[in-house]
Amino acid sequence: MSAVETARTGLARMIASGELGAGQLLPSEADLCERFGVSRSSLREAQKMLSVAGVLTSRPGRRSAVSEMKAPQIMSGLEMVMPLLPLDRYLELFSLREVLEGHVAAQAAARMTDAECGRLVELAEELATTPPSDLAQTLDAEFHSMIIRGAGDEMVASLLEVMRRRGRDYRMFEMSEGDTLKGISDHAHGEIALAIRNRDPESARYLSMQHVRVTRAWLESLRPGPIVFEPDPGGSSARA
């Protein structure tokens, strides 16, 4: 085991065991180096690794502290890696994404308010009358984000949002087949919205999972090239 890995494992054990709690400052570098038998450079590299993973927080001139490890923090590492995934690696996540999107749709059907359900139906209808464009991408993202938020599960919501963010790089509706694909997608949105409004969790789950399966099939078949790191139009972008 390398010195960096020794230090990382040692810190991880201190945190996992509760010896270091959320918000607590780490011991001094001198104490940690002596405890783990590593150099300062190895310790600092290990701390950087845990900071990238959202486990530690650091500020200039101060010792690192254990983060609250809430969903957005622990997803930070995945958020950095996700935009780098090639299509085949991204597609490997779709089995998990299918389950999660089915879960949030079912939860949304049980938890969203009547007003929120009405707005979701309106979004689906507005999206269906909007041609492929930045506005359509924004409406699409708003539709799915509303379902994810409506489920009330912060951890799942954070994971799904990170996974969906990679999908923003694939603009299938702007391809030559875009109108046909969007029509199929719009119909699915309408069915999902109605299932949620009708308080039918199992139909919402099934329809959402099927929607993900269809999206996966399109990506596997069309294999569009990603437009990486393009700024989101209007603060949001397309779902793939």
| Sites in the chain below the pLDDT cut of 70 | 228-240
pLDDT digits (tens, 9 = 90+) for 180-216: 999 999 999 999 999 999 999 999 999 999 999 999 9
Domains of the chain: 3-69 (1.10.10.10), 76-235 (1.20.120.530)
In terms of Cα–Cα distance, which of 157, 138, 162 is closest to 85?
162
As beta bridge partners, residue 56 has 66
Distances (CA, A) of 12 to 26, 51, 150, 205: 12, 12, 34, 37
pLDDT of residue 240: 45
Q: Whole-structure pTM over 0.85, yes or no? A: no
Please state the separation of Cα 222 from the chain's center in Å: 23
Task: Please give the Cα distance from 33 to 212 (Å, whole number).
Answer: 48
> What is residue 169's predicted lDDT score, i.e. its pLDDT?
80
What is the model's pLDDT at position 228? 59
